[in-house]
Amino acid sequence: MFALTKNGFAQKLEQYKQAKNIFIFLHITPVKWTSGAVDCPEFQQLLLKYPNVRAVFNGHDHEQDSIKLLENKIPFMFDGHIGGSWGTYYKGFRVVELKEDNSLVTYLMDPLQKKNQATF
């Protein structure tokens, strides 16, 4: 993993534009869906240029355990505990399965019960 500036991020997305799938991990959500997010429309538009960006995983908003869609295209996944032990009442984790047909299945484990399954 590596940290990038805005231009560096654009260069990396361009470098891997032929990759089948790109998964992005961010600390702070760049869409103002939550109280801890920072709205970054330019970054959102950059991600939307690359159809191989399959999902964005978010930290920072530890009370969130949902999926929010950027323009009905890119799922932003919250699991409540990425990078911390506080947040949601349960101490679960998110599972992501990339299927042979290139569909993506994700769900949370709570920690023994599957919840909030979604397919993209």
Q: What are 60-117's pLDDT values in tens digits?
A: 887 788 899 999 999 999 887 655 666 777 777 889 999 999 999 999 988 788 988 9
Confidence tier at 4 by pLDDT (50, 70, 90): low
**Does residue 108 sit within a domain?**
no
**For the chain, how many structural domains are there in total?**
1
Is 95 a domain residue?
A: no
The predicted model scores a pTM of 0.83
Nearest to 31 by CA among 52, 9, 46, 16: 46
The Cα 94–Cα 49 span in angstroms is: 26
- How do residues 11-69 score in pLDDT, each as one tens digit? 999 999 999 999 999 989 999 999 889 999 999 999 999 999 999 998 888 778 889 99
Percent of the chain clearing pLDDT 90 (strictly above): 60
Across the chain, mean pLDDT equals 88
Instruction: Determine, yes or no, domain membership for 30.
Output: yes
Is residue 44 included in any domain, yes or no? Answer: yes
Q: Which of 17, 25, 21 is nearest to 1 (CA)?
A: 25
Residue 107: inside a domain: no
Flag whether 40 is in a domain. Answer: yes
53 lies in some domain:
yes
Domain of 78? 6-86
Backbone angles phi, psi at 89, to 5 degrees: -65, -25
Please report the sign of the dihedral spanned by the C-alpha atoms of residue 46, residue 48, residue 49, residue 51.
positive
**To 10 degrees, the CA torsion angle through 71, 75, 81, 83?**
-90
User: Residue 97 domain-assigned?
Assistant: no
